[in-house]
């Protein structure tokens, strides 16, 4: 495997037991680094990192990023925050604290250590966009007081903090905006559309579409996303971001439901419910910057990624039913 780093580093990954974090931890270990995986296990799970229990360069630390942390590392990846509406709306005040206080604590740590820090932001900073596809120059259309605001505005504030630390303290930052990502290790009850549809179909339940199914999303397979993370962190100091990381292929929610139904061979039917407040109607990244500055674009087509994800849920669902 091609190494993106010249030498071994000690790397902190916050949210490292989560869906994205655990895949990132795997890649960093494969590259020969030492990894501290930090997670409070609110949405992350030890299942995602069980295979690393005896790894000599892996360390798990249960900690909440809203509290200060004192460790010695060479690099930080800040991924800690619940990312699905079901989870981030469960405790919206804590969600905002995780984005804002967590960013302050990790930036403070990076400042003390004089190390590079990567931040996983989100396409939700664009809100329900009036510009399509979304470029990094677009400032967004976000409701500051709605049920999704704890996440959307928390992530926007975190970006502000990162760029202020960069300007004020000359901190080396890397900020990416993640668009819809899917793959193995998604939480089975996170309320996100891909996991929702797959779990419902495998259980023979009705597939629930909110709205009429015409709203669009762009789905990026997790391996592609993590490759984007690594390329961003390995880029030169002049590349701070924000940079969109996602798949520009656009599908309606109705089309996604049809694909899941066909691939699971289920007898499930599609049912429709009202669209939640502030749910974006369109979402597709412009990835020109990622392609230009990182030589990155997604490789895994939706059909292939869905098959891998369905295989994962086929394996774990029987185990979850026993818990």
pLDDT (0 to 100) of residue 2: 44
Q: In the Cβ-directed half-sphere of 47, how many Cα atoms lie within 13 Å?
A: 16
User: Mean pLDDT, the chain, as a whole number?
Assistant: 93
pLDDT (0 to 100) of residue 1: 40
Query: From CA 204, how far away is CA 179, in angstroms rounded?
Result: 29
pLDDT tens digits, residue range 240-290?
Answer: 999 999 999 999 999 999 999 999 988 899 999 887 776 777 889 999 999
Query: From CA 41, how far away is CA 31, in angstroms rounded?
Result: 25
Of 134, 116, 114, the C-alpha closest to 126 is 134
pLDDT (0 to 100) of residue 194: 95
pLDDT tens digits, residue range 105-119?
Answer: 999 999 999 999 999
Query: From CA 246, how far away is CA 176, in angstroms rounded?
Result: 10
Q: Does CATH number 3.30.565.10 belong to domain 10-182+221-248+282-300? A: no
pLDDT (0 to 100) of residue 278: 62
The pLDDT > 70 percentage for the chain reads: 96
Mean pLDDT value across residues 294-303: 97
pLDDT tens digits, residue range 93-147?
Answer: 999 999 999 999 999 999 999 999 999 999 999 998 999 999 999 999 999 999 9
pLDDT (0 to 100) of residue 321: 64
Query: From CA 174, how far away is CA 319, in angstroms rounded?
Result: 38
CB 169 within 8 A of CB 237: no
Structure tokens at 9: 């580093």
| HEC letters along the chain | CCCCCCCCCEEEEECCCCHHHHHHHHHHHHCCCEEEEEECCCCCCHHHHHHHCCCCCEEEEECCCCCCCCCCCCEEEECCCCCCHHHHCCCHHHHHHHHHHHHHHHHHHHHHHCCEEEEEEEHHHHECCCCCCECCCCCCECCCCCCCHHHHHHHHHHHHHHHHHHHHHCCCEEEEEECCEECCCCCCCCCCHHHHHHHHHHCCCCEEEECCCCCEECCEEHHHHHHHHHHHHHCCCCCCCCEEECCCCCEEHHHHHHHHHHHHCCCCCEEEECCCCCCCCCCCECCHHHHHHHCCCCCCCHHHHHHHHHHHHHHHHHHHHCC
Mean pLDDT value across residues 295-320: 94
CB 165 within 8 A of CB 109: no
Strands 116-122 and 75-78: parallel
Higher pLDDT, 7 or 109: 109
Q: Is 90 exceeded by the pLDDT of residue 20?
A: yes
Q: How confident is the model at residue 70 (pLDDT cuts 50, 70, 90)?
A: very high
pLDDT (0 to 100) of residue 322: 44
Q: Is 60 exceeded by the pLDDT of residue 6?
A: no
Q: In the Cβ-directed half-sphere of 199, how many Cα atoms lie within 13 Å?
A: 20
Mark whether 88 is an active-site residue: no
Q: How confident is the model at residue 64 (pLDDT cuts 50, 70, 90)?
A: very high
Query: From CA 197, how far away is CA 244, in angstroms rounded?
Result: 25
Which pTM was predicted? Answer: 0.93
Q: How confident is the model at residue 41 (pLDDT cuts 50, 70, 90)?
A: very high
Residue ranges per structural domain of the chain = 10-182+221-248+282-300
Q: Which one of 77, 126, 151, 221 is the catalytic residue?
A: 151
pLDDT tens digits, residue range 211-242?
Answer: 899 998 999 999 999 999 999 999 999 999 99
């Amino acid at each position: 495997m091609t190494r993106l780093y010249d030498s071994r580093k000690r790397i902190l990954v916050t949210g490292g037991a989560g869906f994205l974090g655990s895949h990132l931890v795997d890649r960093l270990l494969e590259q020969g680094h030492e990894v501290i995986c930090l997670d409070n296990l609110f949405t992350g799970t030890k299942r995602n990192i069980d295979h690393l229990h005896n790894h000599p360069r892996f360390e798990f630390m249960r900690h909440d990023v809203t509290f200060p942390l004192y460790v010695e590392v060479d690099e930080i990846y800040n991924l800690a925050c619940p990312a699905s509406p079901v989870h981030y709306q469960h405790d919206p005040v804590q969600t905002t604290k995780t984005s804002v206080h967590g960013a302050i604590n990790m930036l403070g740590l990076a400042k003390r250590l004089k190390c590079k820090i990567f931040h996983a932001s989100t396409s939700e900073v664009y809100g329900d966009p009036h510009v399509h596809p979304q470029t990094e120059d677009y400032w967004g259309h976000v409701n500051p007081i709605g049920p999704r605001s704890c996440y959307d505005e928390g992530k926007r504030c975190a970006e502000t903090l990162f760029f202020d630390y960069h300007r004020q303290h000359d901190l080396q930052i890397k900020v990416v905006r993640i668009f819809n990502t899917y793959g193995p290790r998604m939480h089975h009850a996170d309320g996100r559309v891909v996991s929702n549809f797959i779990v419902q179909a495998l259980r023979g339940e009705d597939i629930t579409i909110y709205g009429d199914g015409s709203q669009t999303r762009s789905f990026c397979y997790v391996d592609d996303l993590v490759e984007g993370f690594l390329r961003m962190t390995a880029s030169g100091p002049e590349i701070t971001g924000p940079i969109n990381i996602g798949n520009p292929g656009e599908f309606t929610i109705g089309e996604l439901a049809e694909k899941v139904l066909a691939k699971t061979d289920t007898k499930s039917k599609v049912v429709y419910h009202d669209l939640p407040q502030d749910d974006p109607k369109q979402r597709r990244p412009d990835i020109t910057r990622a392609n230009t500055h990182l030589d990155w674009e997604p490789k895994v087509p939706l059909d292939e990624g869905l098959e891998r994800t369905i295989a994962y849920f086929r394996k774990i669902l029987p185990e979850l039913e026993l818990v």
